[in-house]
Structure 1
Amino acid sequence: AGVTTTRAHVHYIVTEYGAANLFGKNYQQRAKALIDIAHPNHREALERAAYKRFKNLY
């Protein structure tokens, strides 16, 4: 039997650059939290993409 889950089930994401608590956050808040723990070389591109998607990230 397969296991199915949704993005709403994820509470924490941990990388070598930090941990993000995603529980109860909207899409913009989730994006900001994930960008904050992304590899530093990728954060600028991720911020641009998030701004393009949401028009306002902060």
Structure 2
Amino acid sequence: MSVKIDGWLPYALPVLGGLLGVSYVNMVLQAFVNPVLAIVIGVVAGRILAFGIGKLLRPKR
């Protein structure tokens, strides 16, 4: 089971983070945030989260 999750996790979480960045920019009108910056922050946060979860799922040596 963890092999399947470990396979799609690095792709799904950065996409989800970017989507959350787009949603934040569109929903919070008072935030003067560059949309590209919000998307990049979401993607990087998703990638870091995917790396951390993947590291926890891998068996220890």
Do both share a fold (TM > 0.5)?
Answer: no
Greater percentage in strand: 1
Greater percentage in helix: 2
TM-score (norm 2): 0.31
TM-score (norm 1): 0.32
Q: Higher relative contact order by CA 8 Å / sep ≥ 6: 1 or 2?
A: 2
Question: Which structure's CA Rg is the greater one?
Answer: 2
